[in-house]
Amino acid sequence: MEYKITSRSEVETMRIAENLESEKFSNMVICLDGELGSGKTVFVKGFASALGITEVITSPTFNLVKEYLNGEMPLYHMDVYRLEDNENETGLADYFTKDGVTIIEWSSLIKKELPKERLEIKFVIVDENTRVLLFKPIGKEYEDICSAIL
């Protein structure tokens, strides 16, 4: 099943992420895809804020991974945009079992490395402020979360 939510501002996108954070669990993997500027990093900011992370959240485009360890639980924020057309294993899958939450921007670029169970969220730009977020839970735990909060 797929779920659809419309966000009409960055604040709304952050609130959606905060609601999802309330259902977090260890080794949760959230996969974000969408065009540049569609709200992926804004979503991560909302999730991180709800975790109690006080550091400034920016996209880790040149580092691949930023680790935020000062919240309720570790957050591993990945941006794999620069790995386009990379057929080699990246080692990023090691993060999926580090007892934190992993959020991956541009996750479709490393589809072969993603865990079987995960939450995929596609961001679709409607206009300057409006985004449609399409949630696709893969696995029972993610289905339960989506049906509870969406």
CATH number of the domain encompassing residue 44: 3.40.50.300
Using one digit for the tens of pLDDT, what is the confidence trace for 33-67?
A: 999 999 999 999 999 999 999 999 988 767 889 99
Domain housing 116: 3-149
Instruction: Give the C-alpha separation, 109 to 85, whole Å.
Output: 7
Residue 93 reports pLDDT greater than 70:
yes
**Count of domains in the chain?**
1
User: Quick one: which of 73, 13, 69 has its CA closest to 39?
Assistant: 13
Task: List residues bridging with 135 in a β-sheet.
Answer: 3, 121
pTM for the predicted model, two decimal places: 0.94
DSSP letter at 115 equals -
